Chains A and B, each alone.
Chain A
Amino acid sequence: MTTQDKDIAVTVEGLTRTFGEFTAVDDISFRVKRGEVFGFLGPNGAGKSTTIRMLCGLLAPTAGVATVGGIDVMRDPDSVKANIGYMSQRFSLYEDLTVSQNIDFYGGVYGLEGERLKERRAWAVRMAGLVGKENELTGALSGGWKQRLALGCAILHEPPILFLDEPTGGVDPVSRRRFWDLIYDLSNGGTTVFVTTHYMDEAEHCNTIGFIYAGRLVALGSPTELKQGLSSMTTYEVKCARPLDAVDAFQELPWVKETSIFGHAFHVTVSSDPSAVGSIRDILMNDKNEVEAIEEILPSLEDVFIHLISEEDRRKAKAA
């Protein structure tokens, strides 16, 4: 093993999975560095879960190679399983067992016993904020508590790599915030976290982002890198009286790359050109759409992904 390999927690090369005629994951390659938070993003059905299932040894790839913690998932899925933690959006707790019975069960499954189990149980209860509720039925807990308990159960055995499949689905914003604090703590402690999500604000928290669309990895990099990738273009946030009408008006123009609605404002991405602001203002004035403000902004990740998706669609349309 070279020093470089030591710093890599997950490598994926040419990974492909088909279900009959349908290609769920199409020849994707990337690496996840040890201790980083890797965000795996994409719309529903893009191939996120299929990829994570292959990496956890639940699903055999059709082609390609994946190693997790240096272990080939095809060749030795059992060793992979001992080295990872896995948590899905379903939280996978037994609702008819108490908090500590759930912890005992998962601890036992991962071979924890005696002092270590006792220690880790106390840790998980503290981490989930469930001190004093150890003997309550899990089914009676609210979503945020269940989520943190599920996380605690998934990492009782202190795995070096943690897979989270849409872990914040159906949880209130405060709990989501707390959950991400826990993820940072783990990452700071050296755990590699591989997380799928479709919340853009969560994507901003990741060290590296892989964006998958229709089974293909269409972008890979840090949030800042991805935004700078749009450097030949400029995004403006325009506040005006009727943003919906404005989007309709701009969509058709040849020099406009993307438009999207953001509450009372809209974003418009154009090829970088100093005269663009004036043109935007003129068009809105002609339309009697009163302009409040036009501001150049760093594109949001959402802008980036909308751009990537339309590029991919265009590329496919051209190929077909």
Chain B
Amino acid sequence: MNLAPIVRKEFRQISRDRRALGILVFLPGLLLVLVGYALNFDVKNLSVAVVDEDRSPESRHFVQSLTGSEYLVHKWSLDDRSGIDRLLEEGEAQVALVIPRGFAHAMIEGKSIQVQVIVDGANANTAAIAAGYVALGIQDYSSRVLAQWLERHGAHILVPIDIRPRLLFNPELKTAKYLVPGLFGLILMLSTVISTSLSVVREKELGTMEQLKTSPLKAYEIIIGKAVPYLGIALLAATLILVLGWLMFDVSVRGSLLVLYVAIFIFLLAGLGQGLVISSVAKNQQIAFFISVFSSLLPAFLLSGFVFPLSSMPMILQVIANILPTKYFLVIVRAVILKGVGIGPVWDQFLALSLFSAFAIGLSSIRLHRELSS
């Protein structure tokens, strides 16, 4: 098999082509930094405005116990309710708390009283989390008050269910830890699909592909010769993402590096196949670039479970996600990096991923072989 000339030539061209280098090396780094830092779902330091109409030691104690964490910060104290709307509208406060007169009395007498909580609902995600924090804090406070009241009246009770969740794999609930492994799929897919499709289409445009067709090189030698360099560089890019993720976001691989790299390799084959199929369809580099970005970026971003959970999507989108490789890849990568599992628990994902890769490579070989030997 005469692969050396094409492989060497591709490396020489890549090293001279700033755009290819950018797509293959700098794009992954840039995306990692951007997405890692910017795409942050951690909800912290929510400003709370308090209207304390009771002005009692009990109400002050209540506010303190609620806002003592890093999630809710007592930032504003208002005399009456009229100032709430302005603070919420201007975004100065995300949560407002109104403690009515008679709060202390109710606490001491063991009566029920309503505390008004107003949450800025413009961002549904943040609002849900903020409301959750407040509700949990109030519940906690209520049950403590109840227990104290019963104790004063001579009854001893235990809280029936004491919730103490233990969060595995990402105990600090840092978004970056979840996203960095997910970024793998996006970045590798994007760079492999774009670079392979462009490299083939460019040769068609230049007429060098026709020259290669009149040479004794076999179609598969041309295909493999072009694939090997991009595969190698994508593996390097993957390593770069791993190292950067570790340095910047403290994401280390808990599981086996071997399993991880096997998954990356199979996934890259899928991207390679996709890029080659595109190159057999696209007439010029612009079209190839457009199809590549559209067919790899969007599904890898939206339909992979990278950011948005697939389980809450309409059925049709879930079906589409199931025939794309990124979803399976992300499950494997997250499992290996965050959970430290071996191949066992994710073998079915491996199978699905391999099936897609085999399909993509098969289809591209048939198409390119037909094109190159006609």
Least CB distance from B8 to A in Å reads 7
Pairwise interchain contact A108-B5, C-beta atoms closer than 8 A:
yes
Complex Cα gap A92–B206 (Å)? 6
Pairwise interchain contact A56-B216, C-beta atoms closer than 8 A:
no
Chain A residues with CB under 8 Å of B317's CB are: none
Complex Cα gap A248–B142 (Å)? 110
Which residues in chain A, 15-59, are within 8 Å of chain B measured between CB atoms? 56-59
Interface string of A75-92 (1 = CB under 8 A from B): 001100110101110111
B213 CB within 8 Å of chain A? yes
Given A58-B374, A60-B374, A101-B12, the answer on whether A86 and B211 have CB atoms closer than 8 Å is yes
Chain B residues with CB under 8 Å of A82's CB are: 216
Pairwise interchain contact A97-B12, C-beta atoms closer than 8 A:
yes
| Interface residue range, chain A | 20 to 34
A109 CB within 8 Å of chain B? yes
Q: Which of B4, B13, B216 contacts A110 (CB 8 A)?
A: B216
Pairwise interchain contact A108-B211, C-beta atoms closer than 8 A:
no
A93 CB within 8 Å of chain B? yes
Chain A residues with CB under 8 Å of B239's CB are: none
A172 CB within 8 Å of chain B? no
Pairwise interchain contact B207-A92, C-beta atoms closer than 8 A:
yes
Which residues in chain B, 1-35, are within 8 Å of chain A measured between CB atoms? 2, 4-6, 8-9, 12-13, 16-17
Q: Which of A77, A92, A96 contacts B211 (CB 8 A)?
A: A92
A105 CB within 8 Å of chain B? yes
Chain A residues with CB under 8 Å of B12's CB are: 97, 101
| B contacts with A: majority SS | helix
Pairwise interchain contact A92-B208, C-beta atoms closer than 8 A:
yes
Complex Cα gap A96–B374 (Å)? 27
Pairwise interchain contact A84-B5, C-beta atoms closer than 8 A:
no
B125 CB within 8 Å of chain A? no
Total number of A-B contacts with CB less than 8 angstroms? 71
A123 CB within 8 Å of chain B? no
Least CB distance from A16 to B in Å reads 17
Chain A residues with CB under 8 Å of B116's CB are: none
Pairwise interchain contact A101-B215, C-beta atoms closer than 8 A:
no
Interface string of B192-236 (1 = CB under 8 A from A): 000000000000001110111111111000000000000000000
Pairwise interchain contact B208-A94, C-beta atoms closer than 8 A:
yes
A189 CB within 8 Å of chain B? no
Complex Cα gap A60–B213 (Å)? 13
Q: Which of B9, B207, B214 contacts A97 (CB 8 A)?
A: B9
Given A105-B8, A108-B5, A109-B5, the answer on whether A96 and B214 have CB atoms closer than 8 Å is no
Pairwise interchain contact B8-A84, C-beta atoms closer than 8 A:
no
Chain A residues with CB under 8 Å of B16's CB are: 96-97
Chain A residues with CB under 8 Å of B212's CB are: 109
Chain A residues with CB under 8 Å of B216's CB are: 78, 81-82, 109-111
Closest to A92 in B: B211
Complex Cα gap A54–B4 (Å)? 28
Given A96-B16, A105-B5, A111-B2, the answer on whether A88 and B215 have CB atoms closer than 8 Å is no
Least CB distance from A28 to B in Å reads 21
Pairwise interchain contact A110-B208, C-beta atoms closer than 8 A:
no
Least CB distance from B228 to A in Å reads 15
Complex Cα gap A107–B212 (Å)? 12
Complex Cα gap A174–B16 (Å)? 33
Chain A residues with CB under 8 Å of B207's CB are: 88, 90-92
Q: Give 24 A-B contacts (CB < 8 Å), ordered by A residue.
A: A56-B214, A59-B374, A78-B216, A81-B216, A88-B207, A88-B211, A90-B206, A90-B210, A92-B206, A92-B207, A92-B210, A92-B211, A94-B9, A96-B13, A96-B17, A97-B9, A97-B13, A97-B16, A101-B9, A101-B12, A105-B8, A108-B2, A109-B215, A109-B216
The 6 closest A-B pairs by CB, nearest first: A108-B5, A90-B207, A92-B211, A86-B214, A82-B216, A105-B9
Task: Known A-B contacts: A92-B208, A106-B215, A110-B215. Give 10 more (CB < 8 A).
Answer: A58-B210, A58-B214, A81-B215, A84-B214, A97-B12, A108-B4, A108-B5, A109-B217, A110-B216, A111-B216
